[in-house]
A = this chain, B = another copy of it.
Amino acid sequence: MGDLLVVGSVALDSVKTPFGQVAEALGGSATYFSFAASFFTTVRVVAVVGEDFPGEHLSLLKSREVDLSGLQVSKGKTFRWVGEYGYNLNEARTLDTQLNVFGNFRPVLPDALRKTPFVFLANIDPDLQLEVLRQMARPRLVALDTMNFWIEGKREALLRVLAEVDALLVNDAEARQLAREPNLIKAARAILGFGPRIVVVKRGEYGALMISDSHFFFVPAYPLESVFDPTGAGDTFAGGFMGYLAKSEATDVDAIRRAIVYGSVMASFTVEDFSLHRLARLKPEEIQRRYEAFQDLIRFEI
């Protein structure tokens, strides 16, 4: 079993959907990622919170044996995000972002973390993503998430870090924007030319698509009758994906296929409730049951 490191955000999210709302609930990319991945392997979080960060949230992460030795507690307030979703639940409307301590975040890795073999660079400034990589000792597999904000505003830095990662996880629009190509498959192939050997396109309710030089793989989203809040689904997907790979210490294409299904499984739980509420009551046997349900969802005979 290989260990897994994530650098990203830990946040307090206020979210409203047509099905309810939460105020200052636990959120952030590193949070969703690490909680999901903790069902598979040991996860180490590199992030920052303010002095106001509630102890109960730390306890929740510790209850899953998430390693918080890389979590900085800085003078000031924790990163806050306020957003809402309409009925289609596809895209969040950001109402407010307060970076707070996250605005001055400089990831510094404790020595004990520098040799972690599996690394996920969640969606933060690509310069910081590169700073983290520079502190690592030859990780076995590095995956990276990013967004339109960095693709537009920090393209050069993003291309520098992309050249050093194995897998990119983005959505359709981000892949097209990054490659400057409207056809998704051509866009993914162009991105393979930037460095990664795998591009995973996250499509929300439409599932996920993996493209490598020699393989395509597609998995649908799990058909759910009740979706409450899509916040964190992408980071949860990444947590299941990287968690499974780290656990199995494998990076071959068949392992990557299974990892994408585990990512989809974990994401399908997160959206069933607000914040990490569904993950917090998730039982390992539910993961395996839903993995098998995915198999049934797509099987057909030649």
Give the contacting residue for A217; candidates B189, B205, B297, B302; CB below 8 A.
B297
Could you tell me the distance in whole angstroms from the C-beta of A237 to the nearest C-beta in chain B?
15
How many copies the complex holds: the figure is 2
Which one of A74-82, A145-153, A162-170, A206-214 is at the B interface? A206-214
Name the CB-closest residue of B to A18.
B182
Chain B residues, Cβ within 8 Å of A18: 182
Would you call the interface of chain A mostly helix, strand, loop, or mixed?
A: mixed
Chain B residues, Cβ within 8 Å of A92: none
Query: Do residues B302 and A295 form an inter-chain contact, with CB atoms below 8 A?
Result: yes
Residues A302 and B291 in contact in the complex (CB < 8 Å), given A183-B225, A225-B183: yes
Interface size on A, residues (CB 8 A): 40
- Residues 210 to 226 of chain A near chain B (Cβ within 8 Å): 211, 216-220, 223-226
Q: Which residues of A contact B (CB under 8 A)?
A: 18, 87-88, 182-186, 189, 203, 205-207, 209, 211, 216-220, 223-227, 254, 257-258, 260-261, 291-292, 295-302
